[in-house]
A and B are shown apart, each in its own frame.
Chain A
Amino acid sequence: MTTQALEVKNASAGAASPGIRLTEPVAKLIDTSTCIGCKACEVACQEWNDLPAETTVNLGTYQTLPQMTPHFWNLIRFIEVEMNGQLHWLMRKDQCMHCSDPGCLKACPAPGAIVQYQNGIVDFQQENCIGCGYCIAGCPFNVPKLSGQTRKIYKCTLCVDRVSVGLEPACIKACPTNCLSFGTKDALLLKAQKRVDQLKSSGFEAAGIYDPQGVGGTGVVTVLAYADRPEAYGLPANPTIPMSVVLWKQPLKWIGNLAILGGIVGAFLHYLRYGPKHVPEGEKSKQAAGGGPA
């Protein structure tokens, strides 16, 4: 991978300063059919990013934590499931999917707190983050995690610091079985398709690529042996940016803006036309002229 120019393509709350360089989108390929759940990626992620170890308890599974945390951006999910009369122990590396159309970025109110680089990496800029947690609502994959300590949001950066100097992300470097790989998205889609064909020829007829179009495709391309059942791997079948976030950020925002403006302008016009109420001069002398209708 050559050195990536880090130009911003898109940023939260309209804070983008669009770059002009042509950068190919990058991606990670996760081949769940060759993942052995060794968790090397989990620790590599923590070590590269200087994240402290979590205090955990055994919850009756090999999975380190029930979900990602502000200190834990890369979690292998272990799922025991019986399909077609056969036991499967599915292991999937869960992390930020780096959506092309990121729901977190859409939901974020803080200018520049979430940026999407030209190469497709979606990254949180903690110095701009206000800790409101709207990105949590915007994400269809349950990824961003708010730290109680710093009141900031954290998640996988796709090792943007490594990628920007031409290195592969730490998790990929650590993967012993090569079930993870890194490259341009186009190249990885070809590679993924090759693996899918292989899986199909060895009996996994439902094998396929998980690159959900509901979020414009993702920067994490996943090969599933049972692509017809992404839920079995803990993946949403058709992830999209939640409807309420879309409604809020599009129609409601403009209706609201108009309404606020209308209210202020209306009040102003009213004053111009009618002005204030005056308590009549003679009020003092006047007696109540006869009560109500009663």
Chain B
Amino acid sequence: MTNGWTDIQNADVILAMGGNPAENHPVGFRFVMEAKRNRGAKLVSVDPRFNRTSAVADSFTQIRAGTDIAFLAGLINYCFTHNRIQEEYVRLFTNATFIVHPQYEFKDDAGVFSGWDEATRKYDKSTWNYDIGPDGFAKVDPAMQDPRCVFQMMKHFYARYTPEMVSNICGCSVESFNRAADIITSTYPPDRVGTIMYALGWTHHSFSVQLIHAAAMLQLLLGNIGCAGGGLNALRGHSNIQGGTDCGMAYHNLPGYIAIPKQDQPDLKSFYATLLPKPLRPGVMNFTQNYDRFFVSQMKAYYGLNATNDNEFGYSWHPRLPNGAAPGTYENWSWAYIFDHMSNGMMEGLFSFGMNPVNNGPHSRKAIGALKKLKYLVVAENFETETASFWKPEIIALDEEGTSTADVRTEVFLLPASNFAEKDGSFVNSARWFAWKYKALDPPGDAKTDQEIIARIFLKVRDLYAKEGGKSPEPIRSLNWWYTNPFQPSLDEVAREINGWALGEVKDEKDPKTVVLKAGDQLGKFLDARADGTTLSGNWLYIGSYAAAGNLAQRRVNADPSGMKRFENWGYNWPANRRIMYNRCSADAKGQPWDPKRPVIRWNGEKWVGDVPDYKPDSPPEAGMGAFIMLPEGVARLFVPGQFAEGPFSEFYEPTESPVANVLHPRTSANPGVKPFKGKWDLLGKPDEFPIVATTYRLTEHFHYWTKNNAYSVQLQPEFFVEISEELAREKDLQSGDMVRITSARGSIQGKAMITKRIKPMQVAGKTVHQIGFPIHWGFLGRGKQTGGMANIVTPTIVDPNSFAPEYKGFLVKLEKV
């Protein structure tokens, strides 16, 4: 979330799209209701199904699963054609004024950007850039009239997405689109603000990053980013997934979103060369240039006193991402790739903690087939999971090769782990609020906390290295295991380490005589960190959370002195306890709030006051430092140079499995950046055999595959079901409660039919398309009717080329009565 849950109360318009917050975030959804009750805010729901959010929305538009970019592009075009753009905001805070590279273009009929090589199916991205002047800075046209400026390029690019085109792609009526567009774009005046709430309905596509890019463009045109009640808000799917992502859960990032070192970066210097970017405009803050401080402090947290200036702070011990087969590429170890590597026999073992890959990864049958290739599998869980028991007859039967339980050679260790209520620690919610929690009860039986399990394994492994040596003992033997109880590191100590402290005297950088921090002092702000090894910090984003005042995540002050629903003394909001990111954009060129009734920060003549400014606190507005301090441009990117796989603007591509060819450019129907896996498992269906569009989702009543062990949750939603329109039910002669079989190119599952008015067939590219949907929460183990209704048996292994999120939504199936 750029903003926060409580801030949604400040919105005038709320677009819930690519998410179903009433269903999956019912507690946070209260703030939507408060906005409706207290401000008369309008809630717009756009979804493949009329869902729980739609039930309380002011406007609902049904679209075909996977066509969200077309809808958003239609909204962008609506802004241009109806002149619903906050122009001053766009000029100040976005790269709309930048001139693009002279050779950059988009080929309308082919559906590809410049640099496409049809033979190799690869992009040369060199033209996806700005026109760089002789001074090394990008050229700009503040009037935004230059035909090659981003604003004009964008206007032309999105002109194709007329309401009629949106209707033809998405399957909604033109009237319904216009009704929704009218409400959504009504927030373009400076004193009106709208927010977008999205979740996995946007991220589970083969073009998910571009989808969020499109939404960001829309919010920037409307002037909604950085304002109270605005922003682009990702609703995270687990109570602590934000914390997990922050702390390096994805394979290509270290904690704090620092890119992982690569094999062809043998030393710190080569690593820094890509880590620290050059500014693209004069006077920008370009905060990322400080990443060396954060990286070195992180290395000090890993290796403690063993990390010295002489050994480049242990850089050589740190894992580096190996080079890929093609030059300039690196190996991919994201989720779907891990299982692909596993099924290719590239892996010996897997530690699966708090995850159930057989159920929650795409294509369960591939996952089962891959697990059996392992020598060992270690699972730490509260309950027996399908992953830990993949060898059981009814589950291994899904393996394509007809493996039986007796053939499985994998040694499986199921370690009983305590759950979240059985240990203290913290959650970081979608709003980046870092909140401490306390243990409610003891874990049952032999169950241990995750940190104890990990610590005990680590200490055993370290002993083995000490006794027997080994191939590469230094990274293990040098690790800084400083905890009071090495067998069970206290999470309070870990929190202190994540924030970090001074290892020696830290001096002021401008005035070396002043000592800022003594040895042992907790770091208080980002720039307390040093690149010379005098500070230690596990994750720079959390610097300030455990400073001199103690663990701020434990704060429970629900006062709101500003009245702006910021609650700044509740928990800790990274970064720097800032409640609204990019909040410089909430004020105009003079530093005064666009909407005086909803100020976030304002320039009082000396400094910025209000929320913690996402800006240099004493930089006057007339100095013109860019509002986006993390970017070398200093402004938000409507046009994204070089970063994404499929282009600098967000273009609509069909899902990889689609019932129709892309009406804009049939030659390039699906995302050209997608690289499908080529294994025997990785099958795709064609619409003539699998004519129905399917989507998967979660239910309020369940949490993932976990609550199928809870009698109350099972009671609320007892069995796997499939939501089917009345029209399709008539075609297939189905009644509610009948058993149906869903089959995709990957597999088939059975469930109860739920016939509903809430899904309707749609007209897409001149053809009637039916959609069905089914929730994910069932499997083979647990209470109630666990008869293998596991949604991911049918989902494809296609992943987004940027985020590597699987395409769980918008794939093809057929439906039969059992």
Contacts and interface: CB of A to CB of B under 8 A. Distances in A.
Contacts of B26: 36, 38, 40, 176-177
Interface in B746-777: 752-758
A178 B736 contact: no
B26 to A, nearest CB: 4
A53 B735 CA distance: 27
A285 interface: no
B243 to A, nearest CB: 22
Interface string A180-215: 000000000000000100100110000000000000
Contact of A198 (B37, B53, B714, B756): B37
A57 B23 CA distance: 20
B719 interface: yes
A89 to B, nearest CB: 4
Contact of B712 (A46, A57, A87): A46
A250 B737 CA distance: 46
B717 interface: yes
A56 B33 contact: no
Nearest to B721: A58
A231 interface: no
B716 A89 contact: no
A88 B34 contact: no
Nearest to B715: A53
A53 to B, nearest CB: 4
Contacts of B700: 36-39
A58 B758 contact: no
B698 interface: no
A201 B58 CA distance: 13
Given A60-B753, A177-B30, A91 B55 contact: yes
Contact of A53 (B50, B711, B753, B757): B711
B27 A59 contact: no
Contacts of B757: 80, 82, 87
B36 interface: yes
A64 B712 CA distance: 11
A249 B23 CA distance: 47
Contacts of A177: 22, 26, 29-30, 33
Contacts of B37: 34, 178, 195, 198
B706 to A, nearest CB: 15
Residue from the set B27, B37, B50 with the largest chain A CB neighbour count within 10 Å = B37
Interface residues of B, number: 40
A91 B50 CA distance: 13
Contact of A34 (B50, B56, B755): B56
Interface in B37-57: 37, 40, 50, 52-56
A198 B29 CA distance: 19
Given A33-B56, A58-B721, A178-B30, A39 B754 contact: no
B718 interface: yes
Nearest to A35: B56
A39 B737 contact: no
A39 to B, nearest CB: 5
A54 interface: yes
A55 interface: yes
A123 interface: no
Nearest to A201: B40
Residue from the set B22, B58, B60 with the largest chain A CB neighbour count within 10 Å = B22
B54 A89 contact: yes
A61 B736 contact: yes
Contact of A87 (B50, B52, B721, B754): B50
Contact of B27 (A39, A42, A60, A176): A176
19 contacts: A33-B56, A34-B36, A36-B22, A36-B700, A37-B52, A53-B711, A53-B715, A58-B737, A60-B752, A60-B753, A60-B754, A88-B55, A89-B50, A89-B54, A89-B55, A176-B27, A176-B29, A177-B30, A178-B30
Interface of B: 22-23, 26-27, 29-30, 33-34, 36-37, 40, 50, 52-56, 58, 60, 700-701, 711-712, 714-719, 721, 735-737, 752-758
